[in-house]
Chains A and B, each alone.
Chain A
Amino acid sequence: MKERFEIVGIRPLPDPPVRKRKWHEGKPLLSAGVLALIVLGCLLLPLMGTRDPSYMDLTRCSVPPGKAFLFGTDAMGRDVFSMIWYGGRLSLFIGVAAALLSAAIAILFGAASGCAPAWLDGLLMRLTEILLSVPNLLVVVLLQAVLGKASPLSIALVIGVTSWTGMAKIVRTEVRQIRASEYVLASRCMGGGFFHILWRHLTPNFVSSIMFMAVMNVRSAIVAESTLSFMGIGLPVEVVTWGSMLSLSEKALLSGAWWIILIPGGFLVAALLCITSLGSCLRRNINRRENNLY
């Protein structure tokens, strides 16, 4: 029986002479490099022989940048150079953790809503709209009050819990489009459960559209943490992050100690710019999907 088939395969053809794109073309090398430097610096900080960032040397406060203190010291006599790396560690951790948490909530919530019958879907979406319309700050302050003393983990939790709604809406829209498609029906027919279908069929389809948002969430989580700390409702001053360093800036402004503001601010802005540029590059690549023959 089998022999009667002519087995068809792919015949190798000589490659047409196309100019090969250089590997780095269209890739945000500069951003990736700077971000990598910052991340590596934060991760490898013990190897760099930094001082204890929380050690206060009140005899040498507000020392300008120089030989002894590369980036100077702040109003409490802490070494800004070590604070940058330790603080970056926490800031990046908060950003990534909050983004992951919000992505996880968004995927589960969006997929559940997309697969649910119409009335439940409507209910869940109204719920997200209510959440969207309440000012985030209010929710954050409320959650902070419930959770008690702020720690990096609790800040990440609070930011993550308040930033998933937009993404959930996108996931839900995509899922509603895909769930009626025949390959999902086929998978259900073969006995695939909710999580199988979510993981194998739905996620690969919407992951590209939420990737950009996820990266941008890292950015906004870092910003949110800085804002909260700046306003004094985030992490306490003893916990060093880029945000909490900036929270000292009013005093520094008055005393003319520019390095206390500009150096952490510069690192923050550089990291955010790099993340943004990576994110938009990601979006460009995804939009340029391989076209399909139909």
Chain B
Amino acid sequence: MAEEILLDVQHLTHVFPLNRRMSVRAVDDVSFQIRRGEIFGLVGESGSGKSTAARCVMNLYRPRSGRILYKGIDTCDAAAFRANRRMLQTTRQLIFQDTSSSLNQRMRVWDIITEPLRIQRVVPPRGSLRAEAAFQMHYVGLDESFLDKYPPELSGGQRQRVAIARALAMEPELLVADEPIASLDVSIQAQIVNLFKHLQQEHGFSFLFIAHDLAMVEFLCDRVGVMYRGRLVETAPTAELFSNPLHPYTRALLSAIPIPDPRRERSRQLVTFHGEDLPPGGALREAGPDHFVLRSSGSGED
């Protein structure tokens, strides 16, 4: 694998103000890197700030502090963003978590898929915009008969595939996929995951893949980051993380995976993890090759 770092997130913090007094630290001092051609998984419980981190990466939110370097360009810097606007907008694409709201209900499917091409005035490589849409639909396993449908006429899984097709239409280098397969049934999930794997291996796409499903993450991702309450508690290569989880939250998360064997499943120990166990502050420390764990500044080895 090439060692070129495509996306470098440094100490990203994003705070949502709730009212005058209170605010939510949705993402708190998160740092990770995605190398070119790599699939980086981000897992964590609901509300841990995964989507917020993804949106910061896509410049949809302006982070409170921290830097996001994409190909060495600081995307949070307005001047740098303007200077590289077209490159940033075409080579990074986002697949939203909720397709019922991320597709305009009043646009036809082929209009939706070719919208990025229209905006960027890209000459469609396959002749017409319609042919391009049909091609992308086939790529994600949809028939051409859906081209003239409206999103409300599709099922959730079909809509998700339209959203994926729209992201693929620009042939991006970095695909930020926010739980792209959560609403799909298992067989389609496998197809989409295989499609992602194919895109990575054949076309060198890099992914920021956000998921709940740890089995999918284990299969698909090269490296995984675990988020808990806005903090990144552990990042490691997938095999390393699944075989040797160091942070207590990671252990709790992994122990929650059911085992497909009734006898062993019955004796499975659920590790519990309480929020109070996570002291504020601390920093990621290297625990092994490419394996970082959040340690509070005081405590030594776990």
Residues of A within 8 A of B (CB): 1-2, 4-10, 181-183, 185-192, 196, 200-201, 204-205, 290, 292-294
* Nearest-neighbor residue (CB-CB) of B102 within chain A: A182
Q: Are A196 and B102 touching (Cβ within 8 A)? A: no
Question: Which residues on the B side are within 8 Å of A192 (C-beta)?
Answer: 115, 119
A9 to B230 Cα, complex, angstroms: 41
Q: Does B116 contact A (CB under 8 A)?
A: yes
Q: Are A190 and B119 touching (Cβ within 8 A)? A: yes
Sample 6 A-B pairs with CB under 8 A, ordered by A number. A5-B138, A5-B191, A7-B141, A182-B102, A186-B96, A190-B115
Given contacts A1-B194, A7-B143, A292-B152, contact A196 B119 (CB under 8 A): yes
Given contacts A191-B90, A294-B152, contact A2 B138 (CB under 8 A): yes
Q: Does B103 contact A (CB under 8 A)?
A: yes
Q: Does B293 contact A (CB under 8 A)?
A: no
Instruction: Using A5-B138, A190-B170 as known contacts, list a sample of 4 further A-B pairs with CB atoms less than 8 Å apart, ordered by residue number in A.
Output: A7-B143, A181-B101, A185-B96, A186-B96
Q: Does B94 contact A (CB under 8 A)?
A: yes
Q: Are A190 and B120 touching (Cβ within 8 A)? A: yes
Q: Are A10 and B143 touching (Cβ within 8 A)? A: yes
Question: Which residues on the A side are within 8 Å of B116 (C-beta)?
Answer: 190-191
Question: Which residues on the A side are within 8 Å of B107 (C-beta)?
Answer: 200, 204
| Beta-carbon contacts under 8 Å, B139-172 to A | 139-146, 152-153, 158, 166, 170
Q: Are B59 and A189 touching (Cβ within 8 A)? A: yes
A2 to B86 Cα, complex, angstroms: 30
A16 to B288 Cα, complex, angstroms: 66
- What distance in Å separates the Cβ of A252 from its nearest Cβ neighbour in chain B? 52
A188 to B86 Cα, complex, angstroms: 12
Q: Are A8 and B96 touching (Cβ within 8 A)? A: no
A6 to B142 Cα, complex, angstroms: 9
The 5 closest A-B pairs by CB, nearest first: A9-B143, A292-B152, A191-B89, A5-B141, A182-B102
- What distance in Å separates the Cβ of A194 from its nearest Cβ neighbour in chain B? 12
* Nearest-neighbor residue (CB-CB) of A178 within chain B: B104
Q: Are B144 and A9 touching (Cβ within 8 A)? A: yes
Q: Does B85 contact A (CB under 8 A)?
A: yes
Given contacts A9-B143, A10-B143, A190-B119, contact A4 B96 (CB under 8 A): no
A62 to B59 Cα, complex, angstroms: 75
Q: Does B10 contact A (CB under 8 A)?
A: no
Q: Does B105 contact A (CB under 8 A)?
A: yes
Question: Which residues on the A side are within 8 Å of B104 (C-beta)?
Answer: 183, 200-201, 204
Contact of B141 among A8, A293, A294 (CB under 8 A): A8
Q: Does B198 contact A (CB under 8 A)?
A: yes
| Beta-carbon contacts under 8 Å, B110-142 to A | 115-116, 119-120, 138-142
- What distance in Å separates the Cβ of B248 from its nearest Cβ neighbour in chain A? 35
Q: Does B74 contact A (CB under 8 A)?
A: no
Q: Are B120 and A191 touching (Cβ within 8 A)? A: yes
- What distance in Å separates the Cβ of A285 from its nearest Cβ neighbour in chain B? 15
A182 to B102 Cα, complex, angstroms: 4
Question: Which residues on the B side are within 8 Å of A290 (C-beta)?
Answer: 152
Q: Does B195 contact A (CB under 8 A)?
A: yes
Q: Are A10 and B152 touching (Cβ within 8 A)? A: no
Question: Which residues on the A side are within 8 Å of B60 (C-beta)?
Answer: 185, 188-189
A186 to B162 Cα, complex, angstroms: 13
Given contacts A8-B141, A292-B105, A294-B100, contact A189 B89 (CB under 8 A): yes
A6 to B145 Cα, complex, angstroms: 14
Q: Does B98 contact A (CB under 8 A)?
A: yes
- What distance in Å separates the Cβ of A149 from its nearest Cβ neighbour in chain B? 45
* Nearest-neighbor residue (CB-CB) of B116 within chain A: A190
Question: Which residues on the B side are within 8 Å of A2 (C-beta)?
Answer: 138-139
Q: Are A8 and B143 touching (Cβ within 8 A)? A: yes
- What distance in Å separates the Cβ of A286 from its nearest Cβ neighbour in chain B? 12
- What distance in Å separates the Cβ of A8 from its nearest Cβ neighbour in chain B? 6
- What distance in Å separates the Cβ of B78 from its nearest Cβ neighbour in chain A? 15
* Nearest-neighbor residue (CB-CB) of A187 within chain B: B115
- What distance in Å separates the Cβ of B91 from its nearest Cβ neighbour in chain A? 11
Q: Are B119 and A187 touching (Cβ within 8 A)? A: yes
* Nearest-neighbor residue (CB-CB) of A204 within chain B: B106
A6 to B100 Cα, complex, angstroms: 24
